[in-house]
Amino acid sequence: MASRRGWGKIRRLPSKRYQASYIGPDGARHVAGETFAARVDAEGWLSAARRAVEIGEWTAGHGKAAGEPEEHLTVEVYATAWLKGRDLRPRTRDHYADLLERFIIPGLGDKLLADVTPVDVRLWHASMDARKPTVRAHAYALLRTIYNTAVSDSLVTASPCRIPGAGQAKRQKPIEPATLAELEVIVTAMPERLRVMVLLAAWCALRFGELTELRRGDVDLKDGLIRVRRGVVRTLAGEFVVGEPKTAAGVRDVHIPPHLLPAVREHLAEHVEPGADSLLFPAVRGGHLPEASFRGYYYPARILAGRPDLAFHHMRHLGAVLAASTGATLAELMVRLGHTTPAAAMRYQHAAKGRDREIAAALSRIVEG
């Protein structure tokens, strides 16, 4: 759908992005070399082009002539514009920028967007380190997404990304959740001000970013629950950015197991400043707790427990196991973990040790009954 202005034309593409063009002094139509996420950005590009015409600084380089080949639209140019025009969470933007800089631009960046073939993509994919399947899959998935947008923008007729399954990485080693005995060792080894943080990660399956943004006002001791309404991430520039959870399901109320309530109550009394906005787990000098600082305490604690492989995020897996062992349904687990799809929740399901023996014994009790 196109709309004409007093000068130039703006067209909304099937991808929901905007394309700007105008008739230049040479009588030919010139189109912006990139598409825009917002109409105002397309209008800004047209204003700059018109200004160049008015002051006599216009050249044929102000946009490509319509109908001509994409002479300057390389993978690097388009991918950079693609990232700039996306509304992304800070951590996601940093991750995509890193993938572009380390993998996509060095491997394919100087090629024209329309000239990249499936063979080029296959060779590029094969050149990446197969011992790092996760980052390899992420880089391929990002390139595929960029090309899907280019197809929607009518810049290419078809995507050259056609490697089945290349956008998904298989976990090389199954995650073994902590046992309750291991959890006790880790909690005991942590500083007192961080012990409840580990307990809530394990028993309430909260994410690190959710925990470090929790404030006194988010804890309801009367009803025994935590209201998860926000999360915090730290960008590559070191800035802490507070925002809503990454999915709508992430906004949730998580009930605290009753046996933890005394510890939570004591933590609030001993380690949290007065006021509803006071952080539950601040850094030593105040403000949000950096993940690197937390790891300085957590890593030695997990070694004491004999679990050097246990990432803090794996406590969330333990939370899923504990909840599932109570007989919670998949739908109930999705709500507790803050997931929107069953597939996401299933990634956190693990067979609790000894659970199969209990199931077998329960089957016998049916016969005995």
Q: Give the active site residues.
A: 207, 313, 316, 339, 348
CA pseudo-torsion sign 33, 35, 41, 47: positive
Pairing verdict, β 240-243 and 219-220: unpaired
Cα–Cα distance measured from residue 126 to residue 300, given in angstroms and rounded to the nearest whole number: 38
Q: Return the H-helix or E-strand segment holding 195.
A: helix 192-204
The helices-and-strands tally (H runs, E runs) of the chain is 15, 10
Q: Which of 52, 62, 53 is nearest to 29 (CA)?
A: 62
C-beta neighbour count of 352 within 10 angstroms: 16
Cα–Cα distance measured from residue 137 to residue 171, given in angstroms and rounded to the nearest whole number: 12
* Ramachandran bin of 57, using left for φ above 0, alpha for ψ from -120 to 50, beta for the remaining angles: alpha
C-beta neighbour count of 325 within 10 angstroms: 13
Cα–Cα distance measured from residue 214 to residue 80, given in angstroms and rounded to the nearest whole number: 35
Cα–Cα distance measured from residue 167 to residue 232, given in angstroms and rounded to the nearest whole number: 27
Phi, psi for 234 (deg, rounded to 5): -115, 125
Write out the two tokens for 12.
């909304």
Cβ pair 318, 352 in contact under 8 A: no
CB-count exposure of residue 151 (10 Å: 0-12, 13-18, 19+) = middle
